[in-house]
Chain A
């Protein structure tokens, strides 16, 4: 059996990922774990933005929905609900009894199902409402931004039910298992790593199917797809729903790694930053989305403490340069002339086609 050089690098990356808990220390592992969790969300952005041509500035919303779906359960662990116990923040918010919608979250399985179902159904309903009236492009980006603002404002203002600005924190167990020990940290890392790998290969497969081709066709010429007798709506809504689910899974995993979820992670600015990761890594290449997420977040961790003001200038400049001169991102540098590169070039010429039509 012959292993080509093209397979050696991915194999080494996978091997390192799997063995990371044995190679790096606990703190570095916790960083890697939480950034990998974010990269699941980034792959969703790659799907809708790179392949579907849908720019969402509100992925933080679905991230938050997944994160809160898990956090609600983690807050209820160890409480005796039948006895009238409540999470501590409800007490100082003047709530006298546990709100009804919290009850089902006492079940870990209900909570796990919600991590997928809530972001998925909200994403499906929202995108269907907007796309069915053929609103897309820049309009869609602006509406998703308003959604991010409204969602974070709502989370903050409903303090009695959501923990408000403080968010939800201080978890100890999941279904009875301690989730704060170093051993648990490794297990959570491995779960994250496996999920990233599964999402990566599943999306690769999906994008190679007929569905993936139709999604790209919708991106490159929605009207032409219509003229050919296809309805682009299911492809767009489907992609947006998948991206929402991926964001939710990423959010839930991030909550486990970080030990906290708060509105600071779901608002307007974090939602745009998520797009930055993918813009820099490469919007048309799956591994680009992962690499961009890891790169930007590790850089932020290193630079923002030492030179906080430089970080903001750098982030801004990086963004301008990446989208202006490197639309295929870092991944594009490695694959000159690849199909992805041609796709980006086609996007550049799309405007000319359109005016010629």
Chain B
């Protein structure tokens, strides 16, 4: 394999990991922009998506099971998100730090529930046959580069989800409301926007997207009670880098985190890459404390 192909392969890997981060972090970033709360149980939405994919494939086996699992996981996670928003997050939204802690309690309970229901060792989702190939480039400067179908599929799903949410935010009335509440909640409310409902819808949309990410994770690894935990800390870093509730910011931040990790891993091992990523984030916020995209709001204290 040529060096150029190896390097390009790593770039591709970075983008592929970034597409997972963006799906995992999008919901966090959107609700953070609106409500200034972070849902520590967001990782468990990934987990729920994975288990829903597992159950869907048990009911609908065959090549199309995965395509059925995607909407099922979206709806299931969105529903759980709505319940969570309604019962806990909304009540505590005046106290962002307490929300964070309470949702960590939720995440403990959900993990243990998964352990009791499905067993600690986890379950498997087998990728359907039509994802069982690789796109291999055999000659030229990129000779030896192979791109697995599953990774291309992930990119595709991430692109479609991002496109759909961009349309939703920029082209629909609901999107208008979301942007309004994001910029100035009291004024938006005074203009008759039901900010309460907007919160609820955006929150469950975000958890639904995390559910989708869970299905995709299941193609790359096991579905275990703690599967969400391994993606949640990078997702938090994406939110910090991305800026308040910005779709573009979150996407760029995911790409930065994904590419940084993939390229640095050429030189150092994975453990050290994690440490360097944190150093990078701390250095980055020295220069852009408000993230890559700054959303102007009228709030004085974030």
Q: Report A's interface with B, CB cutoff 8 A.
A: 49, 53, 55, 126, 129-130, 133-135, 137-139, 141-143, 145-147, 149-150, 153-154, 156-157, 222-223, 268, 272, 275-276, 279, 309, 312-313, 315-320, 323-324, 327, 347-352, 354-357
Is B167 among interface residues, defined by CB-CB distance under 8 A? Answer: no
| Chain A nearest CB, measured from B34 CB (Å) | 13
User: Measured between alpha carbons, how far is A135 from B286 in the docked complex, in Å?
Assistant: 10
Count chain A CB atoms within 10 A of each CB in B97, B112, B274 and give the residue with the most: B97
Q: Is the CB of A137 within 8 A of B96?
A: yes
Cα–Cα, bound, A142→B43 (Å): 14
Q: Is the CB of A355 within 8 A of B233?
A: no
* Cα-based distance from A272 to B97 in the complex (angstroms): 12
Q: Does the CB pair A350–B94 fall under 8 Å?
A: yes
Instruction: Check if A143 sits within 8 Å of B186, measured CB to CB.
Output: no
- Would you give the shortest CB distance from B233 to chain A, in whole angstroms? 5
When the two chains form their complex, are residues A319 and B97 in contact, meaning their CB atoms are under 8 A apart?
Answer: no
Instruction: Please tell me if B269 contacts chain A, counting CB pairs below 8 Å.
Output: yes
Write the chain A residue with the least CB distance to B38.
Answer: A138
Taking the nearest CB of chain B, how far is it from the CB of A340, in angstroms? 16
Other than A139-B240, A141-B38, A349-B94, give 10 A-B pairs with Cβ distance below 8 A.
A55-B97, A134-B289, A137-B97, A137-B302, A139-B302, A141-B97, A153-B271, A279-B101, A313-B112, A324-B102
Q: Cα distance A356–B285 when bound, in Å?
A: 29
What 8 pairs between A and B have smallest CB-CB spacing?
A157-B271, A319-B105, A316-B108, A133-B289, A351-B94, A316-B109, A320-B105, A142-B236
Q: Which residues of B contact A272 (CB under 8 A)?
A: 101, 104
Q: How far is the CA of A143 from the CA of B280 in the complex (A)?
A: 12
A55 x B108 contact (CB < 8 A): no
| Contact of A315 with B102 in the complex, beta carbons under 8 Å | no
Q: Quick check: A145 and B236 within 8 Å, CB to CB?
A: yes
* A222→B302 CA distance, assembly (Å): 11
Is A327 a contact of B300 with CB atoms below 8 Å?
Answer: no
**What are 6 residue pairs bridging A and B, where the CB atoms are less than 8 Å apart in the complex?**
A138-B37, A275-B101, A319-B102, A324-B102, A349-B94, A350-B94
Distance, CA A145 to CA B100, complexed state (A)? 12
The verdict on A313 contacting B91 (CB below 8 Å), with A138-B97, A272-B104, A355-B299 known, is: no
User: For A49, what are the chain B residues with a Cβ–Cβ distance below 8 Å?
Assistant: 97
How distant is the Cα of A276 from the Cα of B36 in the complex, in angstroms?
A: 22
Chain B window 240-283, contacts with chain A (Cβ cutoff 8 Å), 1 for yes, 0 for no: 10000000000000000000000000000101101101100110
Chain A interface secondary structure, helix, strand, loop or mixed? helix
Main secondary structure of the interface of B (DSSP, over half): helix
B132 at the interface (CB under 8 A from A): no
CB distance from A26 to the nearest CB of B (A): 33
How far is B271's CA from A280's CA once the two chains are assembled, in angstroms? Answer: 34
The complex places the Cα of A69 from the Cα of B23 at a distance, in Å, of: 41
Distance between A174 CB and nearest chain B CB, rounded to angstroms? 31
For the complex, give the distance between the alpha carbons of A315 and B110 in Å: 12
> What residues of chain B lie closer than 8 Å to A275, measured between beta carbons?
101
Least distance between B273 CB and chain A CB atoms (Å): 9
Q: Does B60 contact A (CB under 8 A)?
A: no
Partner of B106, one of A146, A316, A327: A316
Q: Are the CB atoms of A317 and B105 closer together than 8 Å?
A: yes
Q: Nearest Cβ in chain A — how far from B257, in angstroms?
A: 11
Residues of chain A lying within 8 A (CB to CB) of residue B271:
153-154, 156-157
Measured between beta carbons, the chain B residues less than 8 angstroms from A324 are 88, 91-92, 98, 102
Q: Kindly state whether residue B116 has any CB partner on chain A within 8 Å.
A: yes
User: B116's closest neighbor in chain A, by CB?
Assistant: A309
Closest to B274 in A: A153
Interface pair A355/B108, CB less than 8 Å apart: no
On whether the beta carbons of B281 and A143 are closer than 8 Å, the reply is yes
Proximity string of chain B (283-302) to chain A, C-beta cutoff 8 Å, 1 when within and 0 when not: 00110010000000001111
Q: Are A223 and B300 in contact (CB under 8 A)?
A: yes
Query: Which residues from chain B contact A357 at a C-beta distance below 8 Å?
Result: 300
A156: chain B residues within 8 A (beta carbon): 271
